[in-house]
Chain A
Amino acid sequence: MAAIADGTDAVVEAGGKSGRGSDADVSRGAAGQPVMDLLRFAAVGSVDDGKSTLIGRLLHDTKQLFDDQIEAIEAASRRRGIDGMDLSFVTDGLRAEREQGITIDVAYRYAATPTRKFVIADCPGHVQYTRNMATGASTADLALVVVDAPKGLREQTRRHVCIAALLGVRHLIVAANKMDQIDWDQSAYDRVVTEMAHLSERLGVVSCTVIPVSALHGDNVADRTHAALWYDGPTILEALEQAPAGEWAGVQGTHRGSGARLPVQWVLRQPGGGRTYAGMINGGPLRPGGEVVVLPSGQRSKVTAVETLDGPLGEAAVGLSVSVQLADDVDVSRGDLLAAADDLPDVVTQLVATVCWFDRKPLVAGAQYRIKHTTRVTPARIVSVDARLDVNRLELLPADSLGENDIGTVTISVASPLAVDPYHRNRITGSFVVIDPTTNGTVAAGMVGLPDLTPPDEDPASLVDHA
């Protein structure tokens, strides 16, 4: 993206010496390696509100596109009778997407400043591709919500914000798009601010920055516009550069509050006859000397070493793949969880969960599925479907089935015990997927616990669509 001179001041240079083609000054740390953090964000919102165009605009104006990519997009635009560039083609790369002018599946794009790498998931807006939107949002630190400002928030916008928030995305940047169509009328922007305020409050969103933009013309995307003198907040680019990174995995220490967890993926046999247990750390750092409990068996032991191929670590940070040696000869295999002894997850054979249902076949009580939770796969049975979420009113209403793209709460029993944390405390040990054993397809995203909804403090009528 635009060059940042020293990490303290965002400088968007007009034309030329920024992004690709410039003499990149990659800042380096003590070890001579670039010091960069990683921000993952997902562009979400309703179909035709301009998500792909905004991402295309952002990448184009920050010079993250290569010359041959630009030429190819210009050629593809010409073939379809479009003057100049259709910026949505930057991410809509499939034949069917370009034919229909829509996004079918998530496109991942990458951008970088000297201090930050961005992983961008451009999600589809159609209701029928909600499963793909959830795929893109499930690993995001932040959601870039695109709203057609003249039309206001739609039901599908609410659904996406709702899914993103349920998936644990706590930071939103909202692009109030197409402001050029209404002469940058501040009242339309204000309406988006008000509606997003209500939604954010109900969904436990921590920060929400609303920015008036025109993705088509590039106003307030990478470059500040002079069309809206009433606005002096950040551009999309500035907001992205200033957002906290590593929220998803808690890499930067802002984790969701559980103790250290290591889901065992693989057992490594060491030359001397010992074993180490390999996996990726989540929840909190793991150190030699730390007391752990093997779950679900409940055996206690102590970490004697945290190993990597590059040598032992004094501390294994969240997000690192390591292997751990224990003091005692305990029985540990794939699917078990090593957990910090002073903060244990619950070991359960029945759980209440919030699910996003993706299958055409409705979810009903009595159905048999498989569940993958951390590194454990177990048969599961739906005990009951309890409620469906009304995404307009943000209320749980009694229900006994969930249809395709519904969000609801269910009670599930599992054949082998699972060590779970509530999703709001740990996104790894609090999440699972539901797999149809006949097709092996993933039919639902599951989160342990009920959705974290704050009751409305005002008349719910204010939450109804303005469109």
Chain B
Amino acid sequence: MTTTLDPPTSTTVASRSSIAARPTVDHLDLLEAHAIFIMREVAAECERPVLLFSGGKDSAVLLRVAEKAFRPGRLPFPVMHIDTGHNFPEVIDFRDRRVAELGERLLIASVQESIDTGRVADPGHGGMRNRLQTTALLDAITAHGFDACIGGARRDEDKARAKERVLSFRDAFGQWDPKRQRPELWQLYSGQVGPGEHLRAFPLSDWTELDIWQYIEREAIELPSIYYAHRRSVIERDGMLLAESEWVAPRPGEASYEETVRFRTVGDATCTGAVRSEASTVERIIHEVAISRVSERGATRADDRFSETSMEDRKREGYF
């Protein structure tokens, strides 16, 4: 054994040459391999997993990883969309086409149905439905008896997500208790839960927004067109650019106008903002993301602006 300790005047650290060597396995290879590993563990250890697919970029990557994990076989779980009813048509087209291409089964859990059956209060025409997804999701988990939901959430998105395990336990009420998370050592993911309990599994936990885009470029993954720069009629509200739609119309004092924009995230159309951008290709988006000064959710999500801990509060209730 050699212990190198550094006296104040001469420091020994690993020589530069040891890292200058070009790695044969790069960071994307390792992130992909880890995500495949997690997905296979969840599929093997859980009785009834489901993969959550919103049609967004992270869930498109998640589906690609699922193919890598299980092809040439079928995916050992269905694909489920929690549908707020306030959708971008391009995203729904993409969702249906992508699942059909894969030949997999799509389940849709509808927030509109939760409203119609009185499970949640109607926020009114154009009212924000993001938080209401929790009820639709938990009801679907109960109805189908799912014991694991595989989602595309990343730890770099939010400070509460940054604290969450790869396999995150939910009690019989669907709640996350951030003060009592299970230890998660090495890559030994334990998928066992009791009756009524379930897990959320996040294979993309360690990916950043930039990693996602680099992987989309490398794998030539198709995305809904709204991720790329396009002309659109928008309304400026609360510092965000909302797309004018059947649910979002100018309020008194507001005006809609044409702008070249793209979406950095895709969610409920009433609370997902667009960003001004000329980035019309993956390569340009990678450049844009690399130099961005505003975080992904900061730029695009009105639902995170309510309080300091809005994501933590929603997650405690059972949100994604």
Contacts and interface: CB of A to CB of B under 8 A. Distances in A.
Interface of A: 7-8, 20-24, 26, 29, 33-38, 66-69, 72, 75-76, 79, 91, 93-96, 98, 104-110, 112, 115-117, 119, 131-132, 134-135, 138-139, 171, 186, 189-190, 193, 196-197, 200-201, 204-210, 230-234, 239, 242-246, 249, 251-252, 265-266, 268-271, 278-280, 308-310, 317-321, 334, 358, 372-373, 375, 377, 427-428, 431-433, 435, 440-442, 445, 454
Nearest to B7: A193
Interface string B151-186: 000011011101101000000000000110111111
Contact of B72 (A190, A242, A271, A279): A271
B144 interface: no
Given A106-B163, A135-B184, A431-B188, A95 B312 contact: yes
Contact of A252 (B13, B23, B291, B309): B23
Contacts of B163: 93-94, 105-108
A69 B295 contact: yes
Contacts of A269: 72-73
A310 B312 CA distance: 38
A270 B294 CA distance: 46
Nearest to B9: A232
A210 B13 CA distance: 11
B4 interface: yes
B178 A104 contact: yes
Contacts of A134: 183, 185
B233 interface: no
B314 to A, nearest CB: 13
A321 B67 CA distance: 13
Interface in B49-108: 67-73
B155 A8 contact: no
Interface stretch (B128-136, B206-214, B248-256, B263-271): B206-214
B3 A309 contact: no
A233 B9 CA distance: 6
A377 B45 CA distance: 10
A94 B188 contact: no
B1 interface: yes
Contacts of A265: 37, 40-41, 44
B218 interface: yes
A435 B190 contact: yes
Contacts of A270: 72
A138 B186 contact: yes
15 contacts: A8-B16, A33-B214, A72-B308, A76-B308, A94-B160, A104-B179, A119-B206, A193-B5, A206-B3, A207-B3, A207-B12, A209-B6, A232-B9, A440-B190, A442-B183
Contact of B6 (A38, A116, A193): A193
Contact of A66 (B2, B211, B298): B298
A300 to B, nearest CB: 25
A375 B16 contact: no
Interface stretch (B25-33, B109-117, B221-229): B25-33
Nearest to B17: A8
Contacts of A375: 41, 44
Given A20-B292, A265-B40, A278-B69, A94 B312 contact: yes
B14 interface: yes
Nearest to A266: B40
A239 B13 contact: yes
Contact of B291 (A21, A112, A320, A433): A21
Contacts of A20: 291-293
Contacts of B36: 280, 321
Contact of A432 (B9, B188, B292): B188
A95 B310 CA distance: 10
Contacts of B21: 252
A337 B302 CA distance: 49
Given A209-B11, A280-B37, 19 more contacts: A35-B22, A36-B23, A38-B30, A38-B31, A66-B292, A67-B298, A91-B162, A110-B206, A112-B208, A134-B183, A201-B1, A204-B1, A233-B11, A244-B14, A270-B72, A278-B40, A280-B33, A440-B192, A442-B184
B195 to A, nearest CB: 11
Contact of A7 (B20, B28, B34): B20
Contacts of B140: none
B281 to A, nearest CB: 13
Given A93-B159, A107-B159, A138 B292 contact: no
A99 B146 CA distance: 35
A68 B299 contact: yes
A358 B184 CA distance: 12
Question: Which 5 pairs between the two chains have the least Cβ-Cβ distance?
Answer: A93-B159, A68-B298, A233-B11, A321-B36, A66-B295
Contacts of A432: 188
Interface string B270-299: 000000000000000011001111110011
A243 B67 CA distance: 35
B18 A244 contact: yes
A435 B14 contact: no
A442 B188 CA distance: 10
Nearest to A230: B8
Contact of B27 (A36, A66, A249, A440): A36
A55 to B, nearest CB: 11
B8 A189 contact: yes
Nearest to A443: B183
B121 interface: no
Nearest to A106: B163
Contacts of B298: 66-69, 72
B193 interface: yes
A416 to B, nearest CB: 16
Contacts of B11: 209, 232-234
Contacts of A320: 25, 29, 33
B118 interface: no
Contacts of B24: 317
A119 B30 CA distance: 12
A415 B287 CA distance: 54
B120 interface: no
B194 interface: yes
Contacts of B70: 266, 268
B214 A34 contact: yes
B11 to A, nearest CB: 3
A66 B10 CA distance: 36
Contacts of B27: 34, 36-38, 117
Given A207-B14, A234-B11, A33 B290 contact: no
A227 B179 CA distance: 40
Contact of A135 (B44, B69, B183, B290): B183
B159 A8 contact: no
Contacts of B211: 117
Of the listed residues B40, B186, B190, B192, the one surrounded by the most CB atoms of chain A closer than 10 A to its CB is B186
